């Protein structure tokens, strides 16, 4: 199975062009990241297991399909991952949400964990880790390490923009994790920012710069 997916859907690419644009306001940036999160989520959840249920329509009894068993939980990597969760929840409103808090040291680019809270039955659910940016890959790897340590087995990772360096590192450290990307960019600059990228995702979502 191919483990790295780059979405070339026209709607996703259209919205991504506004997300990248430095003139886009925080309000629009938040709305667009959620919209792309939802569009990506639709594809990413394509393999959720179904079970047959009997339903009585106003006309007759019939057999339908519903999502089976324990379903998914989303894990935004704080802060910026929060910017895509609403969109995903609009697809699956009953999904649980765990959180992993990490910040990347601007000098060393090493991620530091400051918060983890997951659903109690996280080991029985499929997990979708959400972060707009996959740059060096350090944050995604650290978040997935943390999830695996707590028993999470089935993990997917989704981001808006990735650098090839980060994709390669994440593939090497966690070959079992499928990666979903809206835009695969050129490279990282000397400060560990994705080029052309979108700048600092957290600052743009929360207007902190
Ligand atoms: C950003 C981004 C990722 C990380 C990616 O978060 O949201 O989590 O950097 O970089 P990496 O792949 O090199 O680890 P940041 O640490 O800036 O924190 P924030 O979300 O709180 O702004
Ligand atoms: N984090 C961001 O927010 N943007 C980048 O380009 C790299 C890491």
Q: What span, in angstroms and rounded, lies between the C-alpha atoms of 72 and 127?
A: 6
Catalytic residue among 20, 30, 104, 204: 104
Dihedral (CA of 145, 150, 155, 159) sign: negative
pLDDT above 70 for 92: yes
Region 182-200 average pLDDT: 97
Ligand lying nearest the CA atom of residue 193 = 2
Averaged pLDDT score across all residues of the chain: 96
> How far is C-alpha 18 from the geometric centre of its chain's CA atoms?
19
Q: Whole-model pTM?
A: 0.96
pLDDT above 70 for 114: yes
Q: Is 108 a catalytic residue?
A: yes
% the chain with pLDDT above 90: 96
Q: What span, in angstroms and rounded, lies between the C-alpha atoms of 180 and 130?
A: 10
Q: Is 30 a catalytic residue?
A: no
- Give the pLDDT confidence of 150-161 residue by residue, as tens digits: 999 999 999 999
Q: What is the pLDDT of residue 1?
A: 56
Segment among 62-76, 114-128, 156-170 with least mean pLDDT = 62-76
């Amino acid at each position: 199975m191919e483990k790295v997916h780059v979405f070339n859907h026209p709607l996703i690419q259209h919205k991504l062009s506004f997300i990248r644009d430095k003139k886009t306001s925080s309000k629009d940036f938040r709305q667009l990241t959620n919209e792309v999160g939802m569009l990506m989520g639709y594809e990413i959840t394509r393999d959720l297991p179904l079970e047959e249920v009997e339903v009585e329509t106003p006309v007759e009894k019939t057999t339908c399909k519903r999502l089976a068993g324990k379903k998914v939980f989303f894990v935004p990597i704080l802060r910026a991952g929060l910017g895509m969760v609403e969109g995903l929840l609009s697809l699956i409103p009953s999904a649980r949400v765990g959180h992993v808090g990490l910040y990347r040291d601007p000098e060393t680019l090493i991620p530091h964990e400051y918060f983890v809270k997951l659903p109690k039955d996280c080991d029985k659910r499929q997990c979708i880790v959400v972060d707009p940016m996959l740059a060096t890959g350090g944050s995604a790897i650290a978040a997935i390490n943390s999830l695996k340590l707590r028993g999470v087995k089935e993990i997917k990772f989704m981001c808006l923009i990735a650098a090839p360096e980060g994709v390669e590192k994440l593939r090497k450290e966690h070959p079992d994790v499928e990666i979903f990307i809206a835009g695969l960019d050129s490279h990282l600059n000397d400060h560990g920012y994705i080029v052309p990228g979108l700048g600092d995702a957290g600052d743009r979502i929360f207007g902190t710069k």
